Chains A and B, each alone.
Chain A
Amino acid sequence: MDVTRRNAMFMGAGALVAFGLPLRATTADIEAITAFTGGAEMADTGVTLTAPEIAENGNTVPIEVSSPGASEIMVLALGNPTPSVATFGFGALAASHAASTRIRLAGTQDVVAIAKLEDGSFAKATSTVKVTIGGCGG
């Protein structure tokens, strides 16, 4: 079967139905997370990720990460061609272990923040961001 653009779209849709929304972590995601955590367990509390529920355009999506006990916070966009987004390292003069930035999202997907806490443990927060497709030329 020739993989045309149209077929690829249908296959993509089929995959979504099979696995359920949102997209599951891919190998690249898992590798990026393992490289950061060494495969350690991640707690569900200890890091906050603030992202819009609906982004008006995936090209510029404001997010904020915060984790009072973190030395580093890694941000991943699991549905992007490459999942890594940024890693924030906080130094001695960081007043709060929090930062805001603007990121690119290739489509509706989960954004993940993983904090490396000063006691050596890890925490994770996930937020689903819907990326809309405009009606007027995108």
Chain B
Amino acid sequence: MTFTRKALCGVAALAMSTGAGFAEPVDDTLVLNEEQTLVTRTTAPAHLEGVLSEIISGWHFRGTETRAMQTDDFDNPGMIFVEQAEEVWNTADGTEGKSCASCHEGSETMAGVRPVYPKWNEAAGEVRTLEMQINDCRENQMGAEPWKYTGGDMVNMTALISSVSRGMPVNVAIDGPAQSTWEKGKELYYTRTGQLELSCSNCHEDNYGNMIRADHLSQGQINGFPVYRLKNTRLNSAHDRFKGCIRDTRAETYAPGSDAFVALELYVASRGNGLSVEGPSVRN
């Protein structure tokens, strides 16, 4: 089932009746540290044909000051947490006396990892998120306790691993053994939930660019995750955002790390195939 942008959902109609309306995504270029230009708008991947022609990073939907904060690693408060994770990367933990660096050497060797996750893991026979892979390392390589899926240590580590891939295009595989998980994620994306009966697509496909109260609706791309939010002044994982969105439809949400959210993450990530990895990005 698909909806066209003209078929405005109730929320958008309400927003329009109260005087708010459509605002174009801001025409701007994201240059990181005055040296690296990131791809924040590009042609939509083939699987979105007939749905979206262009994919746009959430960066374009934010205000001038918020966008500026992401352009410099010093100004980006998310980088504080990247630095904290760098220390953890080099610190031994668990019964094996190993750190991440014991096997992987410097964190820069993780370049290219973020863009392809979630990814099919042949040995485990499942699609795995970065978080699942990190906890696999902790439990089976380091003999350490797994981290809470959306806890501080975990989200900081995913920020470190994302940061070394910034500028690389998101490129998750949606065919082969990952396909059935991807299909499941797609189904969830278009399923209306909660008392408000809203699906992801109602806001982020049909109505991006419109205002939902004072928020400028984005396409809901996750290339910028984890995200430093001005609201809670810490890093936020994609699954926490999914949870927040579903809660806002007034539904019981799935749990972070659940099969449903893993599938949804793969599908949503695939809608951003071609956008640069931005994490840790800055949003409101």
Direct contact of A and B (CB under 8 A): yes
Chain A interface residues (CB < 8 Å from chain B): 52, 54-57, 59-62, 132-138
Contact in complex: B231, A59 (CB < 8 Å): yes
B87 interface residue (CB < 8 Å to A): no
Query: Number of contacting residues on B, CB 8 A?
Result: 23
With A134-B213, A134-B214: A56-B63 Cβ-Cβ less than 8 Å: yes
Chain B interface residues (CB < 8 Å from chain A): 62-66, 68-69, 77, 211-215, 229-233, 244-245, 247-248, 284
Contact in complex: A52, B248 (CB < 8 Å): no
Q: Which residue of A lies closest to B229 (CB)?
A: A57
Residues of B within 8 A of A138 (CB): 231
How far is A16 from B247 in the complex, measured between Cα atoms in Å?
A: 33
Contact in complex: B247, A59 (CB < 8 Å): no
A133 to chain B, nearest CB (A): 6
How far is A134 from B266 in the complex, measured between Cα atoms in Å?
A: 27
Q: Which residue of B lies closest to A51 (CB)?
A: B65
Contact in complex: B248, A56 (CB < 8 Å): no
How far is A60 from B77 in the complex, measured between Cα atoms in Å?
A: 11
Q: Which of B65, B68, B284 contacts A134 (CB 8 A)?
A: B284
Beyond the given A133-B214, A135-B211, could you list 16 further A-B residue pairs with CB under 8 A, ordered by the A residue number?
A: A52-B63, A52-B64, A56-B62, A57-B231, A59-B230, A59-B232, A61-B65, A62-B65, A132-B214, A134-B214, A134-B231, A135-B213, A136-B212, A136-B215, A136-B244, A137-B244
